[in-house]
């Protein structure tokens, strides 16, 4: 990047500690709604986005959007977009649900970042 222009930090999703503890303590066979299967599929979906054009040059467009202070609005807009689109474009498209969950996770990251900023 040019002089005086700060490159955005790499996006590193962070889960709150209570979620990490819950994920590591619950046996696989306890889930009633196949959450373990869905979480594995979601992880594979998110991992795949890092291999696609969404992370060209090691930066995702969302990193720049977030750096400009528009990350929350961008994510909320996309959450609404894909929730409205589910069942309408391409039928009941599982990819739309994955996108909703992915943007939800990114919103958790933005929320945690803003909470950290407020406590400092």
Show pLDDT as tens, one digit a residue, over the chain (120 residues).
Answer: 444 545 444 444 556 666 655 556 667 778 889 999 999 999 999 998 887 765 556 778 888 899 999 999 999 999 999 999 999 988 899 999 999 999 999 999 999 988 877 776
How many structural domains is the chain composed of? 1
Q: Is residue 15 part of a domain?
A: no
Contact in structure between 99 and 113 (CB atoms under 8 Å): no
User: 4: left (phi > 0), else alpha (psi -120 to 50), else beta?
Assistant: left
Closest alpha carbon to 16 in 107, 120, 118: 107
Q: What is the DSSP letter of 84?
A: H
User: 42: left (phi > 0), else alpha (psi -120 to 50), else beta?
Assistant: alpha
Q: Is residue 104 part of a domain?
A: yes
Query: In this predicted structure, what is the pLDDT of residue 2?
Result: 47
Q: Is residue 22 part of a domain?
A: no
Query: In this predicted structure, what is the pLDDT of residue 105?
Result: 97
Q: Is residue 74 part of a domain?
A: yes
Q: What range defines the domain where residue 101 resides?
A: 63-120
Q: Is residue 73 part of a domain?
A: yes
Contact in structure between 66 and 91 (CB atoms under 8 Å): no
Query: In this predicted structure, what is the pLDDT of residue 20?
Result: 59
Rounded distance between C-alpha atoms, residue 43 and residue 37, angstroms: 10
Q: Is residue 87 part of a domain?
A: yes
Those residues whose C-beta lies under 8 Å from the C-beta of residue 57, and which sit 6 or more positions away, are none
End-to-end CA distance of the chain: 29
Q: Is residue 115 part of a domain?
A: yes
Q: Is residue 113 part of a domain?
A: yes
Query: In this predicted structure, what is the pLDDT of residue 31?
Result: 85
Query: In this predicted structure, what is the pLDDT of residue 88?
Result: 92
């Amino acid at each position: 990047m040019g002089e005086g222009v700060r490159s955005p930090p790499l996006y590193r999703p962070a889960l709150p500690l209570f979620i990490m503890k819950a994920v590591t303590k619950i046996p696989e066979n306890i889930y009633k709604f196949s959450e373990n299967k869905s979480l594995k599929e979601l992880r594979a979906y998110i991992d795949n986005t890092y291999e696609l054009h969404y992370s060209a040059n090691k930066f995702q467009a969302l990193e720049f959007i977030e750096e400009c202070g528009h990350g929350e609005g961008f994510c909320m807009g996309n959450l609404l977009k894909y929730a409205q689109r589910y069942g309408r474009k391409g039928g009941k498209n599982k990819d739309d649900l994955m996108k909703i969950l992915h943007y939800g996770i990114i919103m958790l990251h933005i929320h945690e970042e803003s909470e950290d900023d407020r406590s400092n």
